[in-house]
Structure 1
Amino acid sequence: MESRTASDLTRLFNPRSVALIGASDNPSSIGGRTLANLVEHSDFHGQVHLVNARRERIGERPCYPSVKELPEVPEMVIVAVPAEAAVPALEDCGRLGVRYAVVFTSGFGEGGGEGIEYAERLRRVVAETGMRIYGPNCPGLCNVNERIGFTFSPSFRHDLRAGPIGLVTQGGGLGRNIMQAMDRGVGIGLWASTGNELDLQVADFVEAMADTPGIEVIAMLVEGINDGPRFVRAVQHAAARGKPIVAFKVGRSEYGSKAAQSHTASITGSAEVNSAVFRQLGIIEVDDIDELADTAWLLARAKPQPNPAGEPEPGFAVYCSSGGTTAMTADAIGLAKLTLAPFADGTTGVLRELLPSYASIVNPIDTTTAVLADDSLIEKTLLAVCRDPGVAMVVLPMALDYGEVTAVISRRVAAAQAQSEVPVVPIWMSERTGEGYRILRDAGIAPMRSVSKGVKALRRWVDYGRWLAAREPGFRPALLEAPTADADAPIRTLTELEGKTALRDAGIHVPMAQAARSRDEALSVAREARGPVVAKVLSPDIQHKSDVGGVRLDLSDDAAVGAAWDAIQAAVRKARPDARIDGVLIEPMAPQGGLELLVGISRDPVLGPMMTVGLGGIYVEIFHDVARRMLPLSAGEAKAMLRELQCHPLLAGARGQPPRDEAALVRLLVQVSDFVVARGAAIHEMDLNPVWVGREGEGAYPLDAVIVTR
């Protein structure tokens, strides 16, 4: 059988022959609309075959009763018949050697029932024949750059602005909504909406679009990720090909997650984990559909360049003729911690010569209404700003639509843009979209619709340059290497002593702890420690010892140790009479003045082992100040995690406090990552809380360890 990799979807996008199963002469039916899109509104040059057992002809085209009766085996079939008819037809297609199937039909498991059996039959077709299935329950495929529509949407013929964006969605309606950003000038060359993802998934289309000529940016709307390794491989492939990915994730709240599951039957996963993985892999996450279109189009217009941390960020200019609008836009740029570029002397000279003395010729620019009296000033002054060596982009907010006046301004803006490679980013703030708006749109300068969203897109453009500079091309997530954990394997929680022993055996520094099985043994162990000690209940049934009164600190003599033994026994027996108590754990007290953090490991069912770092003790639950990463963790990623924390100034030495031993903490994070990765799927969870971080040179080590194994 011919090898068919996930990214080998070229002939799905543009096959040599197509059969439409369920072709119809009813223009309002699914089959009728699909036929019209394919033969009337597309520039498809391949063979089109029609399958309908109840028709001999539709128009000038013959109909065949089944795929088996066609004069040739089509490269692709489009299925527009109910599920009970679609399944045997697709089984025939697989046996014949059809390469791809686009299945509009629903009823394959979304609501249970016999659809589950139908879905299983189609999976067998894929496994046994190699035919790839796109859908079911999908609206089809739009290859706008080739003007081909394998879709039943009546909007296809209206949404045909070609361009460099590849769009992958799991929702048909929202996908079409994004497609209609074409009306403000956003060019989308290819759209796939994956439906139930019985076979082909979002990941497969991301990978394919990364290899598709003419597609430079991939926009993605996802409700859930079914196959973590497949998704990660596709995203990393796109990054290697230099194709940025912008994503809008639906299902980030509990309500949205439930809705997404009922809609696509996909696994939504933890929103926090998804966002952390997106950031780590360079996926630019946005908060709504407008931002998805804005950010993707900005990336398509101006490819970000690597910008290492410590280097100055790209500079922006604001160009406007309204003082209030100028100030508002500059304010938004400042609040986003973006940079307004200081102009070179040559730029300032041109502005001073051409604009009136009362205009603002420093960045941000307020040209005043002088440009309305002489519109030629717009092109000359805007072009001077575009050519300034410190300006990466020019933000041009337009507060009002003045009709013909605004149309003249837009023509001048478009003329200036045509002479410069520096993007002019218009922000059309008015609800009225007249001729001026259309001029900008048709010039390829898609106007954004609000200052706040426009500035968000600029911020993400800058941040992506930072990510490019920090990216580790050799990073291979443990998810791709480790065997999948057996969900039915028994789970066991190690005692603190067992957990600390395992960490110490792996070379991780952990304070020496010793079990005391009796009161007298506790006294003897504490004396050997030669300093203040901690006593903690030793029980396989208790993880959170302080919650049941099972911890006593700063015990410096026999009386204190003995009293601690008695108090721990009494408190734990009262709080947990069912728990087995094996004694107490005695270990040296950590020095005063250390900072306490949490280091945790969890195993996401889709995206694999994740590390979480944040403030320790009770603070992690109060402030939710955490950073997350996929494993394995490099020293560079460990440092980046710590810099993300709002509490990082405490590590650096805020308000006169001494700097903490951040280097030791970084080493510990990498060691914990290595410990987990080396054990494959055996580590289910790990909770090192607190991790004590001393002053520089004093080290960093866990004071408690809960390890859950399979």
Structure 2
Amino acid sequence: MGDQNLSRLVSPRSVAVLGASDNPQSIGGRAVRNLLEFSAYAGGVYLVNPAREIVAGRRSWPDIESLPEIPDLVVVAVPAAAAVAALERCGQLGVRFAVLFTSGFGEGGGEGREYADRLLKIVESTGMRILGPNCPGLCNINQRIGFTFSPSFRNDLSAGPVGLATQGGGLGRNIMQSMDRGVGIGLWASTGNELDLQVADFIHYMAGKEDIRVIVALLEGIKDGPRFMRAARYAARIGKPVVAFKLGHSDYGRRAAQSHTASLTGSADINSAVFRQLGVVEVDDIDELIDTAWLLSRGLPNQMKPKIAVYCSSGGTAALAADAIGLAGIELAQFSAPTSEILGCNLPAYAAIANPVDTTTAVLKDMSIIDRTLIAVCNDPEVSLVLYPMALDYGDVTEATVRSIIKVNSESRVPIIPVWMSDRQGPGYQLLAASGLPPIRSIGKAVKAIKRWIDYGSWQKEGKREFMPKMLSAPEFVIEDAPSVMGEFQAKRWLRHSGIEIPRCEIAASPEAAISIASKLGYPVVAKVVGEDILHKSDVGGVRLGLASDCDLENAWNEIHANVQSSLPETHIDGILIEAMAPSGGLEMLIGLSRDPVMGLIITCGLGGVYVEVFKDVSRRMLPVDYEQASAMLKELRCYPLLTGMRGQPRRDIAALCHLLVKVSDFAVEHLNSLSEMDLNPVWVGREGQGAYPLDAVIVGWGLDARAAPLACRDGEN
């Protein structure tokens, strides 16, 4: 199912419509009308309806076998049972592609799962690819072809460089109708329940198409993580931006997405981490999806660190834009002397000629001022983009302003981004749309799009697109049974065996043994309860720190036993782990591994100890992680200043923490299909030169007992 050559789906030589109808309100009737009346399709069209000899004024055929040729594509508009039987025959005859409008294939947990299984067998046995089921079809706007039943197809025909792949049809059509403000969309595939073809397949296909410059993906769920990763990586390596809006960030959203498309959603945080690492530009809403994609379709920033100019005719609007730009961390350009001279010569003395530019009402008297000053700003060597917010619609004045923007944009070496802030959409708005300068509807939305544009350009220039996720080269992972838990002592033994530094520790079965171990390790020590059913030792009073003497240790032994028996009276205590106490003054971090059902094993680092649940300050990556990526993970954290030494605090051993992250990554790669989770929390990070190592460890996975056996504790071993 990995073939992304979809050219005979997008532009088939011939097509058959199964369930063709004369009823203009039926699915089959609308599909026929879109294809025959509103498309410019030049290939062969065969209408199939066993009950009629004539449909839409053309000959109708009783079944697929009676057609004079085997079509590249069948469009299916019949009920599920009939659709399955027909597609079985199509697959046997050699039809290459099918668009399946029909629902009733077990989506949302409903009936019809057996039909879905039969369709999968068709794909596997014949190689026929299926778009759908439960989808509105495919629209090849650049060639004006519609394999869809949507009554809106005839109105949404503005071709352009944006490729669109969505799972849902309603939101996909919503994006298509951004054509009304000037966005050109070349191809839209709505994948529905993704029984076979997925959004990822269309990302891969469109990445190789010259008429598509940017790809938009609207995702309710991702069924196949590796397939998505391959497609996104392929697009990134070609230099084709992918802009994605992923639904399902809340519990409500996840449930709604699953019921709609029957897709897995995965963890939103992990999806976002994977997107960032693969260069996928993730956005937060539909408007931002279109705004960002259209800006990227106009090209990438012309500088490594782009700077922005603001040009408008309202002081308050200029201040509003400058504030939004500053809050987003974007830099305003400083104009060169020639630019400032042109502005000074053409604008009144009371105008603002530094960045942002406020022309004032002087342009009402002489509109040609805009032509002369705006092009000067666009051509300034420090400027990568010009933001032109328009706070209100002044009728003829605004229309003339827009004509200047369009003229200057055609001569400018950088993009001009018009922002139409008024609810009154006069002729000026329509002019912008018609000229291919889609107006963004607020300064905030415009700045968000610009920030994404800058970030993607930086990502491309930094050369990160060659990263190869380990998941793509690893053997297929199949869960056969529930994972088991390896407790702290055995987990630490396994980690130490893999070259990760671990504090010296031993398990004591009596107070006397504990004192003996402590005398070898040297006080102060830590005492922790050991029990098969005790994972969160602190929660049951099973940890005592800073024990400085035999007396302290004996008291701690008694307290731990009393606390645990009080909290968990049925739990068996196997012993007490005695461990050398880490030096005081260390910073507590965490390093973890977790297996996402879609994206596989992910490594996490962040602020540790009890604070992880409160602040949730973490950074995530796919495997493997090298030193550079480990350093980048730490710099993403809000707590990073604590590592660098803020307000008189000592600088921590960042290098040791980075090396530890790399070692954990190497450990995870080595045991990729054995690990479900690993929690190293806290990880002690000392001052510069003191190192970084885990103080606690829990590993969850498969086959752990066998792996741990060679490392079983022997008396006196630490």
Task: For 1:692 and 1:471, locate their aligned partners in 2 and report how far apart those are by CA, in whole Å.
Answer: 33
Residue 478 (structure 1) aligned with residue 467 (structure 2): no
SS, match of residue 280 in structure 1: helix
Say whether the 8 Å CA contact 1:394–1:423 is kept in structure 2: yes
Match of 2:642 in 1: 650
Say whether the 8 Å CA contact 2:206–2:215 is kept in structure 1: yes
Residue 54 (structure 1) aligned with residue 51 (structure 2): yes
Q: 2:187 aligns with which of 190, 198, 201?
A: 190
Q: 1:666 aligns with which of 658, 668, 677?
A: 658
Deviation at 1:495, TM superposition (A): 2.2
Task: For 1:519 and 1:306, locate their aligned partners in 2 and report how far apart those are by CA, in whole Å.
Answer: 67
Percent identical residues: 61
Q: 2:390 aligns with which of 398, 414, 424?
A: 398
Match of 1:374 in 2: 366
Amino acid of the structure 1 residue aligned with 2:76? V
Residue 241 (structure 1) aligned with residue 233 (structure 2): no
Match of 2:149 in 1: 152
Deviates more, 1:462-471 or 1:401-410: 462-471
Match of 2:573 in 1: 581
Match of 1:538 in 2: 530
Task: For 1:299 and 1:383, locate their aligned partners in 2 and report how far apart those are by CA, in whole Å.
Answer: 21
Task: For 2:18 and 2:301, locate their aligned partners in 1 and report how far apart those are by CA, in whole Å.
Answer: 45
Deviation at 1:305, TM superposition (A): 6.1
Q: 1:527 aligns with which of 519, 524, 535?
A: 519
Q: How does 1:348-363 map to 2 (within 5 A)?
A: 348-363=340-355
Deviation at 1:486, TM superposition (A): 3.7
Amino acid of the structure 1 residue aligned with 2:635? R
Match of 2:37 in 1: 40
Deviation at 1:471, TM superposition (A): 4.4
Q: 2:291 aligns with which of 287, 294, 305?
A: 294
Residue 165 (structure 1) aligned with residue 162 (structure 2): yes
Match of 2:458 in 1: 466
Q: What do residues 317-339 of structure 1 show as CA deviations (whole Å, max 9, x unaligned)?
A: 00000111111111111111111
Deviation at 1:111, TM superposition (A): 4.7
Deviates more, 1:31-40 or 1:408-417: 31-40
Q: What do residues 103-159 of structure 1 show as CA deviations (whole Å, max 9, x unaligned)?
A: 111111125454111111111111110000000110010111111111111111111
Task: For 2:56 and 2:272, locate their aligned partners in 1 and report how far apart those are by CA, in whole Å.
Answer: 51
Amino acid of the structure 2 residue aligned with 1:564? A
Alpha-carbon distance change, 348 to 306 in structure 1, aligned in 2, over 3 angstroms: closer
Task: For 1:667 and 1:552, locate their aligned partners in 2 and report how far apart those are by CA, in whole Å.
Answer: 29
Q: 1:24 aligns with which of 17, 21, 24?
A: 21
Task: For 1:385 and 1:306, locate their aligned partners in 2 and report how far apart those are by CA, in whole Å.
Answer: 16
Q: How does 1:485-564 map to 2 (within 5 A)?
A: 485-564=477-556
Match of 1:569 in 2: 561
Task: For 2:536 and 2:661, locate their aligned partners in 1 and report how far apart those are by CA, in whole Å.
Answer: 22
Alpha-carbon distance change, 299 to 154 in structure 1, aligned in 2, over 3 angstroms: same
Amino acid of the structure 1 residue aligned with 2:211? G
Task: For 1:248 and 1:627, locate their aligned partners in 2 and report how far apart those are by CA, in whole Å.
Answer: 20
Amino acid of the structure 2 residue aligned with 1:13? V
| TM-score of the pair, normalised by structure 2 | 0.96
Task: For 2:60 and 2:427, locate their aligned partners in 1 and report how far apart those are by CA, in whole Å.
Answer: 47
Deviates more, 1:467-476 or 1:411-420: 467-476
SS, match of residue 38 in structure 1: helix
Say whether the 8 Å CA contact 1:627–1:645 is kept in structure 2: yes
Amino acid of the structure 2 residue aligned with 1:222? L
Match of 1:128 in 2: 125
| TM-score of the pair, normalised by structure 1 | 0.97
Say whether the 8 Å CA contact 1:78–1:102 is kept in structure 2: yes
Deviation at 1:620, TM superposition (A): 0.5
Q: What do residues 354-394 of structure 1 show as CA deviations (whole Å, max 9, x unaligned)?
A: 11111111100000111111111111110111000000000
Say whether the 8 Å CA contact 2:301–2:384 is kept in structure 1: no
SS, match of residue 518 in structure 2: helix
Deviation at 1:539, TM superposition (A): 1.6
Task: For 1:165 and 1:267, locate their aligned partners in 2 and report how far apart those are by CA, in whole Å.
Answer: 27
Deviation at 1:449, TM superposition (A): 0.4
Deviation at 1:478, TM superposition (A): 2.4
Deviates more, 1:459-468 or 1:39-48: 459-468
Q: 1:99 aligns with which of 93, 96, 114?
A: 96
Deviation at 1:19, TM superposition (A): 0.4
Residue 285 (structure 1) aligned with residue 282 (structure 2): yes
Match of 2:705 in 1: none
Task: For 2:463 and 2:558, locate their aligned partners in 1 and report how far apart those are by CA, in whole Å.
Answer: 54
Consecutive unaligned residues of structure 2, counting only runs of 5 or more, are 703-718
Match of 2:336 in 1: 344
Alpha-carbon distance change, 460 to 497 in structure 1, aligned in 2, over 3 angstroms: same
Task: For 1:305 and 1:585, locate their aligned partners in 2 and report how far apart those are by CA, in whole Å.
Answer: 59
SS, match of residue 221 in structure 2: coil
Match of 1:598 in 2: 590
Say whether the 8 Å CA contact 1:20–1:49 is kept in structure 2: yes
Task: For 2:368 and 2:478, locate their aligned partners in 1 and report how far apart those are by CA, in whole Å.
Answer: 71
Deviation at 1:25, TM superposition (A): 1.4
Deviation at 1:485, TM superposition (A): 4.1
Task: For 1:256 and 1:289, locate their aligned partners in 2 and report how far apart those are by CA, in whole Å.
Answer: 15
Deviation at 1:438, TM superposition (A): 1.3
Task: For 2:71 and 2:52, locate their aligned partners in 1 and report how far apart those are by CA, in whole Å.
Answer: 20
Match of 1:222 in 2: 219
Task: For 2:572 and 2:475, locate their aligned partners in 1 and report how far apart those are by CA, in whole Å.
Answer: 34
Match of 1:310 in 2: none
SS, match of residue 676 in structure 2: strand
Consecutive unaligned residues of structure 1, counting only runs of 5 or more, are 308-312
Task: For 2:454 and 2:466, locate their aligned partners in 1 and report how far apart those are by CA, in whole Å.
Answer: 23
Q: What do residues 76-99 of structure 1 show as CA deviations (whole Å, max 9, x unaligned)?
A: 000011112111111110011000
Deviates more, 1:82-91 or 1:659-668: 82-91
Say whether the 8 Å CA contact 1:163–1:187 is kept in structure 2: yes
Q: How does 1:412-427 map to 2 (within 5 A)?
A: 412-427=404-419
Say whether the 8 Å CA contact 2:303–2:384 is kept in structure 1: no
Task: For 1:658 and 1:112, locate their aligned partners in 2 and report how far apart those are by CA, in whole Å.
Answer: 56
Deviation at 1:572, TM superposition (A): 1.4
Q: 2:420 aligns with which of 411, 414, 428?
A: 428
Q: What do residues 409-437 of structure 1 show as CA deviations (whole Å, max 9, x unaligned)?
A: 11111111111131100000011111111
Deviation at 1:303, TM superposition (A): 2.1
Q: 2:677 aligns with which of 685, 688, 692?
A: 685
Amino acid of the structure 2 residue aligned with 1:47? G
SS, match of residue 504 in structure 2: coil
Alpha-carbon distance change, 69 to 633 in structure 1, aligned in 2, over 3 angstroms: same
Alpha-carbon distance change, 540 to 471 in structure 1, aligned in 2, over 3 angstroms: farther
SS, match of residue 464 in structure 2: coil
